[in-house]
Amino acid sequence: MEVFRSRRGVSPVIATVILVATAITIAVAVAYWMGGITSQYTRFEKVEILSAYCELTEWALWGDKDGDEIPQESDDDAYPCWVIELDLRNTGTTEATIVGAFVNAKAIGDFGYINGTYYYIQAYEESIDAANLLDFEADEKMTIEPGSSRKIILVMLDVSALANPPSELPYTFTSGTTIEVALHSGAGNNYMKMVTLT
């Protein structure tokens, strides 16, 4: 019996320290694990349209206005157009992909063609240049990284200026008309802005 009496257990203080350290270690491990899981489900896109600027100007984009059988070759082929610049910023945590543009809830590709090639409404990214043309009907996209800004430009032909307008015009907008411009993302979100044509 003397042998057993001489043995001493772990001090209550040391036992408490060991238990607390173990609990903290397990809590930190669980927190990291839960953080990894939640980050997979909390990534989101959010595109803000910071500003919209509209200007009526002339661009040689749509055909042979001067009748020399050489379309879009000079300013003599320039038609009045509304140029709408939308400044975008992705304030979300994942990249946003713009896959379509709409005017008054109608896809710009649905407004039809002129000369079988150009839409009545065209979309460009960053600047009006052939290399920057966004053909959403051909599944072209514009990507906006998280925290970055981009610009999308819509050019709308003033169809009333056409020398030989089609029998059924795709729209009859005039200066002073307010239209709804919407951008559709690959995640299924719509980002809208009301724009008054100048």
CB distance 155 to 59 below 8 Å: yes
User: Which amino acid makes up residue 118?
Assistant: Y
Q: Are residues 113 and 157 in the same domain?
A: yes
Do 32 and 111 have their domain in common?
A: no
**CA 192 to chain CA centroid, nearest Å:** 11
H or E stretch at 180? strand 178-185
pLDDT at site 2: 56
Expressed as residue numbers, the domain containing 9 is 2-41
Which structure tokens are listed for 50? 């910071």
**Structural domain count of the chain:** 2
Tokens 């590709």 found at: 109
Alpha carbons 158 and 165: distance in angstroms, whole number: 11
Q: What is the pTM assigned to this prediction?
A: 0.77
Same domain membership, residue 7 and residue 100: no
pLDDT tens per residue across all 198 residues of the chain: 555 555 566 678 888 888 899 999 999 988 887 776 655 567 789 999 999 999 999 988 888 888 888 888 888 889 999 999 999 999 999 999 999 999 999 999 999 888 777 889 999 999 999 899 999 999 999 999 999 999 999 999 998 888 777 788 889 999 999 999 999 999 999 999 999 999
Amino acid at site 7: R
Tell me how far apart the alpha carbons of residues 97 and 56 are, in angstroms, rounded to a whole number: 28
Q: What does the pLDDT read at residue 104?
A: 97
